[in-house]
Structure 1
Amino acid sequence: MPLQRAALALTAVVLATPISAADLEIHGSNTVGASLAPLLVGGYLETRGEGPVTVTETGHANERLVQARVDGKPVEVLVAAHGSSTGFKALAEGRADIWASSRPVKDSEVEQFGHRANLKSLDSEHVIAIDGLAILVHPGNPVTQLSIDTLARIFAGEIRNWSELGGPDRPIHLYARDERSGTWDTFKSLVLGSSYTLAASARRYESNDRLSDDVSRDPSGIGFTGLASVRQSKLLAISEGKAPALKPNQLTVASEDYPLSRRLFMYTPGARTTPMAAQLVAYALGPDGQERVAQSGFISQNPIAVKPEFDDSVPETFQRLTRNYQRLTVNFRFAQGRTQLDNKALRDLERVRQYLEREGRVAADLLLIGFADTQSNELRAQMISELRALSVRRALADLGVRDVAYTGYGHYMPVGGRGSARNGRVEVWIRAR
């Protein structure tokens, strides 16, 4: 499988090459760089180094140095967190070893970088954590949930008073990330789309934490940040289309069912990745690195079993199907709406295998349930949902997890609006003990 070949290549680099004492530079997302990247670098250096790891400010805003001694030599890692687009520019110019991004690489960036590496390949694209774009208001605001369309109209300035939403008679104050931010790119893509433009009155921020703190002090405020920066603000539930409103939590974000879920990335230049960068990425993707992800306030990709709370929208047939099961906090998703697993899914296969081994479970304990995005008829949706579940079953069999039970549930129980790619998924359930 591609994952196995990539893992072997990465392992070969890690084992064959000692850590260089030269600086490693990570440029890009403030969401990643503010706390997560320094935490991952620190954890990695603790596994390789001698003595304490220190994190210091450089004197420039949103930049930190992580330092340690490895093999008797000083190692210094710079984390510059000025926005996702700045990270791509630094990688393209050869100033960054790793590009930290809170959005996927753009097609234009793939093309621009294509002479060096394919940034969409498994060798270059690494999902290091899952985040939920948090919609924040003042703790005293009585509003508890919004639809994505309503949220877009708020930030476009079409809805200007909280009384229009069942809240107090107060003008709405908008707080938004700056233009260089991957968080802004994600909000613009998932919420504003091509139909809305951010109101000129919005206050713009480079820092997630500062934005959240200011919203928490403003009874009229509403803003958006990464999930790790909720702090003292109040978190709203968000809905898309006819799907139920969801708050971001361990299950809804890890499974990417929450409509404003997003992936956090590290991008590396394929075969030209430096040995130390390869080692750091391998650590970040592994179980120990993912534990650090959880410590940082983001959502780890290490699967855990959760018993979901069903509401009245869940069909009785589905409740019977899953009655004796818990759900793992992982969904398998597909590239471009097909049955081909995407890069994250290829790595999640190994995570499921490791979970079974760690928990003393076997393949017979698993149940895969496939879902289709909206189709022209029920039969076609059922066929697609079963084919997706079968695709995951075969991929698990290639890792030695054979004969897993599977079924399809058609295009019922959507987690997004009509036509949303998030509706096409395979959920993983495990028999309750």
Structure 2
Amino acid sequence: MNKIILILSGLFFLLSYCSFKPSGEYVITISGSDTMYELNESLAKEFMIDNPGISVYVKGGGTKLGIIDLIKNRTDICASSRNLKPEESKLLVEYYGSLALVYLIAKDGLSIYVNPNNIINDLSVEQIKKIFTGRIRNWKEFGGKDTLIVPVLRNPNSGTYLYFKEHVLDDEQYTKNGLTLPTTKEIIKFISENVNAIGYGGVGYKEGIVQIRVEGIYPTEENIRNDSYPITRYLHFFVSKNPSGNVKKFIDWTLSPKGQSVIRKAGFIPLWDYAL
């Protein structure tokens, strides 16, 4: 009975984590990447079942906000879908006297989402760039219908927004004709309801949309693991100091076969091909 109460208590904390940092020896806080939000919820839930009495709070809001939380000591772990910027590293050094430690926890294919009724199922990186910079605005340019393309963008606090801008757009500006939505789930919902929309995000999100081929290659686990899919990245945990106690226990568990199996079930790519 006590075990059930503790697990339910942990799940309540998971869902109710707000802007403050809960404290206590048996509390772990994770803040940051929206791409990783549902993944972190899954990791937290399974970890709390395996470790009753330890509560894990999960907050999204984007990689940028997670890094700010880490710099201001409002979180134990920053979940990030990109590397630190030089100015962020500088702030961490100034605050803590050392650089953040980084743990790679999974791989992700940055997928291109379209509506299931869109006949376009393959684009090159250059074509994607032209869509999201506004150079191409009609689906007929790719053999589709004579209708305007509706690019859907992540918010600027998102690590995915910045990664896409740097690695796909070559640091050019996003189109001013795009629609910005705050979360991946909202992007998925919009695209599923709008046949002319196109967006981007983590490979773990599949319901209601189609993840198309890029340069003729689908974002499958094998293609992402061997880097043949063109837009592949790592997902990170950042910590401000050498982890100890329950924070270390959680990170070690995430990198264990059990944690990596949760990552696979969440639709992302484990670092190692565990036989589970």
Give the TM interval when normalised to the shorter protein.
0.7 to 0.9
Higher gyration radius (CA):
1
Is the 2:26–2:246 Cα contact (8 Å) retained in structure 1?
A: no
1:48 and 2:19 matched: no
1:264 and 2:230 matched: no
Partner of 2:248: 278
1:202 and 2:178 matched: yes
Task: Give the deviation of 1:107 after TM superposition.
Answer: 2.4
1:270-301 residue CA offsets vs partner (Å, 9 max, x unmatched): 33x35221111111011110000011111122
1:382-404 residue CA offsets vs partner (Å, 9 max, x unmatched): xxxxxxxxxxxxxxxxxxxxxxx
C-alpha distance in 2 between matches for 1:118 and 1:258 = 31
1:24 to 22, 28, 33: 28
Partner of 1:187: 164
Secondary structure of the structure 1 residue equivalent to 2:116: coil
Task: Give the deviation of 1:76 after TM superposition.
Answer: 3.1
1:128 to 99, 105, 113: 105
Secondary structure of the structure 1 residue equivalent to 2:175: coil
Task: Give the deviation of 1:158 after TM superposition.
Answer: 0.9
C-alpha distance in 2 between matches for 1:260 and 1:216 = 22
Partner of 1:94: 73
Is the 1:97–1:274 Cα contact (8 Å) retained in structure 2?
A: no
Secondary structure of the structure 1 residue equivalent to 2:176: coil
C-alpha distance in 2 between matches for 1:255 and 1:109 = 30
Gaps of 5+ in 2: 1-23
Task: Give the deviation of 1:22 after TM superposition.
Answer: 4.4
1:151 and 2:154 matched: no
Instruction: Name the aligned partner's letter for residue 295 of structure 1.
Output: K
1:172-206 residue CA offsets vs partner (Å, 9 max, x unmatched): 11111100111111111111113x31111211122
Is the 1:21–1:76 Cα contact (8 Å) retained in structure 2?
A: no
TM-score normalised over the length of structure 1: 0.56
Task: Give the deviation of 1:268 after TM superposition.
Answer: 0.9
C-alpha distance in 2 between matches for 1:235 and 1:40 = 24
Task: Give the deviation of 1:21 after TM superposition.
Answer: 4.3
Secondary structure of the structure 2 residue equivalent to 1:104: coil
Task: Give the deviation of 1:231 after TM superposition.
Answer: 1.4
Instruction: Name the aligned partner's letter for residue 151 of structure 1.
Output: I
Instruction: Name the aligned partner's letter for residue 158 of structure 2.
Output: S
Instruction: Name the aligned partner's letter for residue 36 of structure 1.
Output: L
Instruction: Name the aligned partner's letter for residue 292 of structure 1.
Output: V
Is the 2:116–2:209 Cα contact (8 Å) retained in structure 1?
A: yes
Is the 2:48–2:55 Cα contact (8 Å) retained in structure 1?
A: no
1:107 and 2:83 matched: no
C-alpha distance in 2 between matches for 1:235 and 1:95 = 35
C-alpha distance in 2 between matches for 1:223 and 1:100 = 22
Dislocated runs of 4+, deviation >4 Å: none
1:254 and 2:225 matched: yes
Secondary structure of the structure 2 residue equivalent to 1:114: helix
1:160 and 2:137 matched: yes
Is the 2:30–2:77 Cα contact (8 Å) retained in structure 1?
A: yes
CA RMSD of aligned residues (A): 1.7
Partner of 1:290: 260
Secondary structure of the structure 2 residue equivalent to 1:214: helix
Instruction: Name the aligned partner's letter for residue 118 of structure 1.
Output: L
Gaps of 5+ in 1: 1-19, 50-69, 240-244, 305-354, 359-433
C-alpha distance in 2 between matches for 1:41 and 1:284 = 9
Is the 2:105–2:255 Cα contact (8 Å) retained in structure 1?
A: yes
Task: Give the deviation of 1:216 after TM superposition.
Answer: 1.6
Q: How many residues align?
A: 251
C-alpha distance in 1 between matches for 2:69 and 2:203 = 26
Instruction: Name the aligned partner's letter for residue 69 of structure 2.
Output: A
Which has the higher relative contact order, 1 or 2, with Cα contacts under 8 A spaced 6 or more apart? 2
Partner of 1:211: 187
C-alpha distance in 1 between matches for 2:206 and 2:262 = 18
Aligned pairs (5 A) from 1:339-418? none
TM-score normalised over the length of structure 2: 0.86
Instruction: Name the aligned partner's letter for residue 133 of structure 2.
Output: A
1:44-82 residue CA offsets vs partner (Å, 9 max, x unmatched): 222221xxxxxxxxxxxxxxxxxxxx2xxxx43221100
Partner of 1:429: none
C-alpha distance in 1 between matches for 2:63 and 2:176 = 22
